[in-house]
Amino acid sequence: MPRSPSASAHKKALDAAIALIAKQGIETTSMDAIAKQSGVSKATIYKHWTDKNSLLLEVMAVVNGLHLRPDFDSGNTRADLVKVLAYRPKEYADVREQIMPHFMAYSAHNQEVGMAWRNMVMDPPRRELRHLLKLAISRGKVIPQLDLDLSLSLLLGPIIYWFVFLRNVEEDPTRLAEGVVDAFWRAFSLPSRKNTTNKHRKLA
């Protein structure tokens, strides 16, 4: 189905903003530059977004696939933790890694975007991981005294580090996520009942 003129202009301006930010960063991407790149007038752009920050918030949501996050609870906690940490929407995959460091830097000194970054980008995986860890505790998969806040830092910290420092060196976030979860699981998981039973039989 063809897009309406309004929807088409919205998509063109949004895609132009994404391409410019990926190429040159947020500070040097002006509304004038977006208008020139997209072929959409600045007046029309301001009909869709009240200011640059509101446009940035939509860029953040679209690039991170925040409206389409899947359900990560398959029943296999260890595999689900990997899926949350490695989740990368297919759309805009070619520019996501270029854009994210720019948003991190911009968020450090722009309070509105910084709060949105925390609420929109960081909170969804934090909520999903916390939910999965609580399930793991209730299912006897990890130690019952597990510190959830510390666990979230241990799981998410290496992923953020990858985005900032290693994205051009290590291009496989799934492999990193698997390594992070394996290390976490070795430190905090409980032996399965089956393994414990077998161990007791050998000792008997």
Helix (H, G, I), strand (E, B) or coil at 71: coil
What pLDDT sits at residue 103?
86
pLDDT at residue 4 greater than cutoff 90: no
- Average pLDDT value for residue range 16-27: 94
- In angstroms, the Cα distances linking 17 to 6, 33, 148 are 17, 8, 37
Alpha-carbon gap, residue 166 to 169, rounded angstroms: 5
65-109 tens-digit pLDDT: 877 788 889 989 999 999 999 888 888 777 887 888 888 888 888
142: phi then psi, degrees, rounded to nearest 5? -130, 170
Alpha-carbon gap, residue 18 to 93, rounded angstroms: 12
**CA quadruple 85, 157, 121, 40: dihedral, nearest 10:** -100
Closest listed residue to residue 26, CA positions, set 80, 114, 96, 105: 105
113-171 tens-digit pLDDT: 888 878 877 888 999 999 999 999 999 999 999 999 999 999 999 988 877 776 655 56
